[in-house]
Amino acid sequence: MTYCVAIAVDAGLVFCSDSRTNAGIDRVSTYSKMFRFGVDGQRQFVILSSGNLGTTQATISRVKRDIKERAMQSLLTVESISEAADYLGGISRTVQEKHDAHGTGFEASFVIGGQIAGKKHRIMMVYPEGNHITSSHDTPYLQIGESKYGKPILDRILTRDLNLDTCALCALVSMDSTMRSNLSVGPPIEMLVYRTDTLTLDTPLRFDEDSEFLREVKRSWDQRLKDAFRQMPPFAWAAAWDKNPGRAVNYNDDQD
Amino acid sequence: MTYCVAIAVDAGLVFCSDSRTNAGIDRVSTYSKMFRFGVDGQRQFVILSSGNLGTTQATISRVKRDIKERAMQSLLTVESISEAADYLGGISRTVQEKHDAHGTGFEASFVIGGQIAGKKHRIMMVYPEGNHITSSHDTPYLQIGESKYGKPILDRILTRDLNLDTCALCALVSMDSTMRSNLSVGPPIEMLVYRTDTLTLDTPLRFDEDSEFLREVKRSWDQRLKDAFRQMPPFAWAAAWDKNPGRAVNYNDDQD
Contacts of B220 in chain A (CB under 8 A): 232-233
Of residues A179 and B101, the one with the higher pLDDT is: A179
* Torsion from C-alpha of B86, B88, B91, B93, nearest 10 degrees: -70
- Residues 23 through 62 of chain A touching chain B, CB cutoff 8 Å: 32, 34-38, 61
**Range(s) of the domain holding residue A170:** 3-209
- State the Cα–Cα distance between residues A85 and A78, nearest whole angstrom: 9
Q: A35 has which bridge partners?
A: A47
Of B220, B144, B153, B175, whose CA–CA distance to A153 is shortest? Answer: B153
Shortest Cα distance from B118 to chain A (angstroms)? 23
Of B190, B49, B37, B175, whose CA–CA distance to A247 is shortest? Answer: B190
Helix or strand run (H / E) with residue A241: helix A237-242
Judge whether B237 lies within some domain: no
Judge whether A192 lies within some domain: yes
Helix or strand run (H / E) with residue B142: strand B141-145
Task: Please say if the pLDDT value at position A101 is more than 80.
Answer: no
Judge whether A230 lies within some domain: no
Of A225, A43, A135, A35, whose CA–CA distance to B231 is shortest? Answer: A225
Q: Are A59 and A49 in contact (CB under 8 A)?
A: yes
Q: Are B199 and B175 in contact (CB under 8 A)?
A: no
Looking at residue A249, its pLDDT comes to 38
Looking at residue B92, its pLDDT comes to 96
Q: In whole angstroms, what separates CA A61 from the centre of its chain?
A: 21
- State the Cα–Cα distance between residues A16 and A205, nearest whole angstrom: 9
CB contact under 8 A, A233 and B248: no
- State the Cα–Cα distance between residues A255 and A249, nearest whole angstrom: 10
> What is the count of structural domains for chain B?
1
CB contact under 8 A, A172 and B235: yes
Q: In whole angstroms, what separates CA A246 from the centre of its chain?
A: 46
Q: Are B176 and B217 in contact (CB under 8 A)?
A: yes
Q: How confident is the model at residue A239 (pLDDT cuts 50, 70, 90)?
A: low
Substitution target in A207, A213, A256 with the highest count of B β-carbons within 10 Å is: A213
Q: Are A3 and A148 in contact (CB under 8 A)?
A: no
Judge whether B65 lies within some domain: yes
> Which region among A145-159, A235-249, B145-159, B231-245 has the lowest average model confidence (pLDDT)?
A235-249
Shortest Cα distance from B168 to chain A (angstroms)? 7
DSSP-derived 3-state class of residue A246: coil
The dihedral through the CA atoms of B214, B151, A174, A113 has a sign that is: negative
CB contact under 8 A, B149 and A153: no
Looking at residue B87, its pLDDT comes to 98
Q: What angle do CA A143, A147, A153 make, to 5 degrees?
A: 90
Q: Are B20 and B7 in contact (CB under 8 A)?
A: no
CB contact under 8 A, A213 and B148: no
| Contact B203/A at CB under 8 A | yes
Q: B108 has which bridge partners?
A: B51
Amino acid at A210: D
Helix or strand run (H / E) with residue A50: strand A43-51
How many Cα atoms sit within 13 Å of A232 on the Cβ side?
30
CB contact under 8 A, A247 and B206: yes
- Residues 1 through 30 of chain B touching chain A, CB cutoff 8 Å: none
CB contact under 8 A, A32 and B248: no
Q: Are B16 and B202 in contact (CB under 8 A)?
A: no
Average pLDDT over residues B146-165: 94
Best-predicted range by mean pLDDT among A18-27, A210-219, B98-107, B149-158? B149-158
CB contact under 8 A, A232 and B217: yes
Substitution target in B70, B146, B159, B213 with the highest count of A β-carbons within 10 Å is: B213
Judge whether A114 lies within some domain: yes
The values of phi and psi at residue A80, to 5°, are: -160, 165
- Residues 120 through 159 of chain B touching chain A, CB cutoff 8 Å: 148-149, 151-153, 155-157
Q: Are B128 and B107 in contact (CB under 8 A)?
A: yes
Q: Are A6 and A111 in contact (CB under 8 A)?
A: yes
Q: Are A191 and A41 in contact (CB under 8 A)?
A: no
Of B129, B193, B199, whose CA–CA distance to B165 is shortest? Answer: B193
CB contact under 8 A, A256 and B213: no
Which of A168, A206, A224 has the CB atom closest to B235's CB atom? A168
Q: What angle do CA A145, A150, A152 make, to 5 degrees?
A: 130
CB contact under 8 A, B205 and A149: no
Task: Please say if the pLDDT value at position A88 is more than 70.
Answer: yes
| Contact A70/B at CB under 8 A | no
Task: Please say if the pLDDT value at position B83 is more than 80.
Answer: yes
| Contact B67/A at CB under 8 A | yes
> Rounded to a whole number, what is the distance in angstroms from the first to the last CA of chain B?
45
Contacts of A222 in chain B (CB under 8 A): 156
Which ranges of chain B would DSSP assign to H, the alpha helix? 53-68, 81-99, 151-157, 164-181, 212-230, 237-242
Shortest Cα distance from B92 to chain A (angstroms)? 18
Judge whether A214 lies within some domain: no
Helix or strand run (H / E) with residue B7: strand B3-9
The CATH number of whichever domain residue B83 belongs to comes to 3.60.20.10
Judge whether B235 lies within some domain: no
- State the Cα–Cα distance between residues B127 and A154, nearest whole angstrom: 31
Query: Scanning every residue of chain A, which has its alpha carbon at the shortest distance from the alpha carbon of B231?
Result: A224
What is the tens place of the pLDDT at every residue in A19-45? 988 776 677 788 899 999 999 999 999
Judge whether B236 lies within some domain: no
Looking at residue B102, its pLDDT comes to 62
Helix or strand run (H / E) with residue B6: strand B3-9
Of A86, A134, A125, A115, whose CA–CA distance to A193 is shortest? Answer: A115
Average pLDDT over residues A144-162: 94
- State the Cα–Cα distance between residues B67 and B213, nearest whole angstrom: 36
| Contact A170/B at CB under 8 A | yes
DSSP A155: H
Q: How confident is the model at residue A241 (pLDDT cuts 50, 70, 90)?
A: low
Of B185, B164, B168, whose CA–CA distance to B19 is shortest? Answer: B185
Q: How confident is the model at residue B167 (pLDDT cuts 50, 70, 90)?
A: very high
Task: Please say if the pLDDT value at position B246 is more than 60.
Answer: no
What is the tens place of the pLDDT at every residue in A181-211? 888 898 899 999 999 999 999 888 888 888 8
Q: Are B81 and B93 in contact (CB under 8 A)?
A: no
